[in-house]
Amino acid sequence: MPKQRTVASAVTATGVALHSGVRVQITLKSAPVDHGVVFRRTDLTPPEDIPARAELVRETRLATTLATETAKVATVEHLLAACVGCGLDNLIIELDNLEVPIMDGSSAPFVYLIEQAGVVEQEAPRRYIEILAPIRVELGEKFAELLPNPAFEVDFTIDFAHPAIADDQCRVRMRLDEADFLTQISRARTFGFAYEVETLRSMGLAQGGSMENAVVLDEYKVLNREGLRFADELARHKVLDAVGDLFLLGHRVRGKYHAFKSGHELNNKLCRALLASPEAWRYTH
Ligand SMILES: [Zn+2]
């Protein structure tokens, strides 16, 4: 039976916030059994805790943002996905701004940071969410669903008609344990179009955005000089986002995540639909 885990020691890193462009410092600290993952805004007086819970998701445009009545934290999904991949259950994430730094646009820098801190087992078994009956949410042609399955598995299709992305690179289907996440998914970067970046900048967003932290495309090609990390990097990143968004359930899912064109909004609707359907799941070890 897998045990709960946290970091062995505190570790700090700095990076740029995607939207405000300011430098943000984050510190990962150990947390006790059954604590879960909690963000702590140390720049507020007094510091405020924001638990990584689906019920606290307030905005899903561009990134997943959590908010209590008095504090918020944005762009949580890539760091949460790294926690899943590194096997963490309990963690305090201190940050001195309202945005988690974007790093290179993937989970890999956070994985590296967690590996620097070290991971230790705790004296309690991990609890999983076992899916007992299908749960599905839709938004026009988009959908996301959770289905009973003995292990966590993903089947994600993006609809991305673009000359640089072959049709057969738009679907990721795989069993996804922690080791698979680290090797297959964690390095996949976020992406966007150059014209979108311009629009976002004019709205005061994406001030920290660059080809250092995203795959940027124009109408015809990938603009990053180094190209893609995987031919299906875009679809893999959507899986990364989903892994982070689903961890807002507070536990790993034992079941299959199946989605078409899903994103943060639909992923959160799926979490809320599941939590509102107690007959569709149970805790298991
Ligand atoms: Zn993302």
Total Cβ atoms within 10 A of residue 45: 7
Phi (first) and psi of residue 238, to 5 degrees: -65, -30
What separation, in Å, do the N-terminal and C-terminal C-alpha atoms of the chain show?
7
Q: Which pLDDT score is estimated for 214?
A: 92
d(CA 170, CA 3): 35
Which residues in the chain come in under a pLDDT of 50?
A: none
CA 185–ligand 1 middle distance (angstroms): 11
Q: What is the pLDDT of residue 168?
A: 87
Do the beta carbons of residue 191 and residue 78 sit within 8 Å? no
Distance 118 CA to ligand 1 centre (A): 25
pTM, to two decimals = 0.96
pLDDT tens per residue, range 207-222:
888 888 999 999 999 9
Q: Distance from the CA of 79 to the center of ligand 1, in angstroms?
A: 10
Q: Are strands 191-193 and 215-217 parallel, antiparallel or unpaired?
A: parallel
pLDDT of residue 85: 97
- Beta-bridged to residue 92, according to DSSP, are 29, 38
- The CA 46 to ligand 1 mean position distance, Å, reads 30
The pLDDT value recorded for residue 69 is: 95
pLDDT digit string, tens, across residues 22-41: 999 999 999 999 999 999 99
The pLDDT value given to residue 161? 83
Q: How far is the CA of 187 from the centre of ligand 1 (A)?
A: 11
Catalytic choice (78, 162, 264, 285) = 264
**Tell me: the pLDDT tens digits for 127-162?**
999 999 999 999 999 999 999 999 999 999 998 888
Go through the domains of the chain in sequence order and give each one's CATH number.
Answer: 3-125 (3.30.230.20), 128-284 (3.30.1700.10)
Mean pLDDT score of the chain: 95
- Active site includes 35? no
Q: State which residues have CB under 5 angstroms from ligand 1, the bound ion.
A: 190, 241
Q: How far is the CA of 83 from the centre of ligand 1 (A)?
A: 14
CA of 66 to the centre of ligand 1 (A): 15
CA 199 from chain centre, in angstroms, equals 24
